[in-house]
Structure 1
Amino acid sequence: MNTILTIEQRNAVLGSMSQLIATKKTAILKANKIDVKTYNGGDLAMHDRLKVDDDKIKGMMLALQQLIADTDPVGKKLFHFTHDNGLKITNKSTPFGTVLIIYESRPDVTVEAAGIAFKAGNKILLKGGKESLNSNLKIVELWHKALEENNISTEWVTYLNYNRTEIQAFLENPSQKVDLIIPRGGEKLIAFVKQNATCPVIVSGRGNNFVYVDAEADINMALKVIINGKTSKISACNAVDKVIINSNLPNKEVFIKNLVKELLKFNVEILGDTELSIFKKVLAYDNEDIWHEEFLDYKIVIGSVNSSEEAIAKINKYGGGHSAVIITKNNETANLFMELVDSAAVYQNASTRFTDGGQFGLGGELAISTDKLHHRGPMGLQHLVTNKWFIYGDGQIR
């Protein structure tokens, strides 16, 4: 499909889709109710992501309206050079072409991620999880209506209703050209895609985010940031899973007891290293490998370090490369931590829950990349393009 859509056409489709979600809300909720009722897994995070309610419907519509208001990411002049011989050389942003998004359980991704990719001029292939099939098919039906209302081919948005064997075969030998794959989900899904894909993959990786409480931390602030990061949304990849505390923190024992008390209010299971598992209600863990795990559950590990350098080394060894926080009043210590920790987002004195395209001013996000190429961190509209060189001459030869 060698068609280029104007920004007016793309925005018109997004507007139609927003209106259709509003008018067909009952049908979306009905389809989702079937998915929720059918889901029999015990995964709390999966269930939370799967369910669509009025707030999520409003979020879908808002995401589309924000996309319409956002500037066109296609055709931006990134670089210009006039050669001595008169050649005019310009580098401009262009769509990737066809983007395949593979994701688990979240029907809102079928709206928001597809909307971002479409606004950036790309053809969309969607492969959602089997647990959200009814919701996804209903939403894709609305995408097709939105396209038809604007006399645009429904081929711009396609749902791949494939099982695991079929998607593996498609990844290995696509029946159509695929220029980029973005897997959103757990580590097994990401590993599966990377193993089988024959085109570039941007990994929307695991969280396993750390908070380091420095010796010069404000302990009330630390408490507030940790509780927010751990308990406000356990299904989010920007939730906190690990807390490391400097042994030289004044009133360390009081802080740990208060932290345990607050976490228990939310029924968080607390595991600790040998130094911290002596505290009441903190369980000793069996294996150091637990520091690698992303929980997506009411579960946390707390540990002790003797210095900022030790904290940085531990985060770089075990963290998911997503988000890391230092709680400290010392800006010099914070700057060193933020420069040396190898994560997509690094914070001083704030919650990891802000690692999000909307919160970062991107309007929305397709994924949060833990890769370093082609993009790192929340991936918004402006990042879902590649670039192309346009060279204008009048017969120059070399």
Structure 2
Amino acid sequence: MKLNQQTHNMELISTDKKNAVLKSMARILDEMRGEIIAENKKDLDAFDPNDRAMYDRLIVNDAKVDGMISAVNQVHDMPDPVGKVLADRTLDNGLHIQNKTAPFGTILIIYESRPDVTIEAAVLAFKANSKILLKGGKEAKNSNIILEKAWHKALEENGLKTDWIRLMTLPREETQAFLRNPSEQLDLIVPRGGERLISFVKEHAQCPVLVSGRGNNFLYVDKEADWNKTLEVILNAKTDKISACNALDKILIDENLPEYKQKVVELNTILREAGVEVLADEHVAELDSDSIKVENEDTWYEEFLAMKSVVATVDSLENAIETINKYSGGHSSTIMTSNNDRAAKFMEQIDSAAVYQNASTRFTDGGAMGVGAELAISTDKLHHRGPLGLDQLVTNKYYVYGDGQVR
């Protein structure tokens, strides 16, 4: 039997050995700090700074290197996710059956601009005993090459092959050809990017795809919302980091909110003062002549990644739930209310990976949710939803111990 693909035997590395690699890596990142920042400068010099969201993601400075080191140290300190016993039973026929966590094998992650993903994705995959192929964007090529060099140093220092962590620097056409007909077995693909990338990968992948979904996050202001808290949460969710997939895009205000008209105008004024362009549905546009009316329904589906937001009116909780489930990216949704029954209904019925009561959507993040470094934020329902941390980066396997039993 001839295989047209390279098959892989998944060698299990001991926890001590994996942690030794991570210890080396933390030190090497610090030693190579100057080189890493210099290589990143080449990428920044070639990039258009007017694309602010993308430019912000591309920057590597001292603080970013510190963040990379801390991500490596954090994963070093976490328990090994492989080989955990999920279930253990002995049947009447004497078979002893254990279900244990097991590595995926080889993971391909496709991402743009952010060089810190080259550290975060690889540290998680490696600790979870999977090989990883890193397909970064061409805009971060120099940064990624130097970071791969650091990984290879850490692996070699500990007597491991460098093929555990590899950068793919193929141009787009060759990457597409690789996805259609991979030259080696892939067990999981994680596309982190726009709709076009995700649909291309889903169409051509020969293995499971875990979608790191778009944002397009919603916040609903219920009639029993605390208005001061609401303003603080909206400002944070919208303006704290516009390049993040957990930033806020759409704000729905219940028309039954006391002093509804004044509050809409106050909110829009505060948003504009913070530099946010306010788009409005017809009701809000009537109340606030400085807002820009949404003319195209596509805007409702759009993740902005920019200083703009839609402010619109709903007449009930049910109307808010229906609107959010129709247009959102299934990432994060917030209700601002002091009524816990309505909050519970909202949180149960909204189809998002993370639902909030009285808090900013900006917390949908591995670190902020206490999961640690994350590979992605999944908006898929299989096999995990939300921040994909170390414990979610494994599959499972049944170990069955017998003594000649036949069925």
Does TM-score exceed 0.5, indicating one fold?
yes
- Asked if structure 1 preserves the Cα contact closer than 8 Å seen for 2:48 and 2:55, the reply is no
- TM-superposed CA distance for 1:361, in Å, is 0.9
Matches within 5 A, 1:307-318: 307-318=316-327
Give 4+ residue runs of structure 1 displaced > 6 Å after superposition: none
CA distance in 2, matches of 1:219, 1:280: 22
The one-letter code matched in structure 1 to 2:329 is G
Matches within 5 A, 1:289-308: 289-308=298-317
Match of 2:398 among 381, 386, 389: 389
Matches within 5 A, 1:142-291: 142-278=150-286, 279-291=288-300
CA distance in 2, matches of 1:136, 1:213: 42
User: Equivalent residue for 1:372?
Assistant: 381
CA distance in 2, matches of 1:187, 1:52: 26
- TM-superposed CA distance for 1:68, in Å, is 0.6
CA distance in 2, matches of 1:81, 1:255: 60
User: Equivalent residue for 1:358?
Assistant: 367
- TM-superposed CA distance for 1:41, in Å, is 6.8
CA distance in 1, matches of 2:49, 2:182: 31
What is the RMSD computed on CA atoms of the aligned residues?
A: 0.9
Q: Secondary structure at the match of 1:162?
A: coil
Confirm or deny that 1:86 pairs with 2:94.
yes
The one-letter code matched in structure 2 to 1:300 is S
The one-letter code matched in structure 1 to 2:364 is T
Q: Secondary structure at the match of 2:282?
A: coil
CA distance in 2, matches of 1:291, 1:78: 42
Match of 1:110 among 115, 118, 126: 118
Query: In structure 2, do the counterparts of structure 1 residues 188 and 43 end up closer, same or farther at CA, with 3 Å as the change threshold?
Result: farther
CA distance in 2, matches of 1:73, 1:358: 17
User: Equivalent residue for 2:32?
Assistant: 24
- TM-superposed CA distance for 1:194, in Å, is 1.3
Q: Deviations over 1:36-88 (max 9, x none)?
A: 11013742211111111111111111111010100010000011121101100
The one-letter code matched in structure 2 to 1:234 is I
CA distance in 1, matches of 2:41, 2:341: 52
CA distance in 2, matches of 1:21, 1:262: 42
Q: Deviations over 1:344-364 (max 9, x none)?
A: 000000000000011111111
User: Equivalent residue for 1:337?
Assistant: 346
Confirm or deny that 1:67 pairs with 2:75.
yes
CA distance in 1, matches of 2:88, 2:184: 34
Q: Secondary structure at the match of 1:302?
A: strand
CA distance in 2, matches of 1:308, 1:158: 49
CA distance in 1, matches of 2:71, 2:48: 30
Q: Secondary structure at the match of 1:277?
A: helix
CA distance in 2, matches of 1:294, 1:164: 24
**Bigger shift: 89-98 or 259-268?**
259-268
CA distance in 2, matches of 1:41, 1:48: 9
TM-score w.r.t. structure 1 length? 0.99
**Bigger shift: 123-132 or 52-61?**
52-61
TM-score w.r.t. structure 2 length? 0.96
**Bigger shift: 45-54 or 204-213?**
45-54
- TM-superposed CA distance for 1:285, in Å, is 1.4
Q: Secondary structure at the match of 2:83?
A: coil
Confirm or deny that 1:14 pairs with 2:46.
no
Structure 2: where are the runs of 5+ without partners? 1-7
CA distance in 1, matches of 2:117, 2:340: 38
The one-letter code matched in structure 1 to 2:24 is S
CA distance in 1, matches of 2:193, 2:71: 20
Q: Secondary structure at the match of 2:60?
A: coil
CA distance in 2, matches of 1:266, 1:39: 26
CA distance in 1, matches of 2:142, 2:199: 26
CA distance in 2, matches of 1:266, 1:133: 34
CA distance in 1, matches of 2:151, 2:29: 9
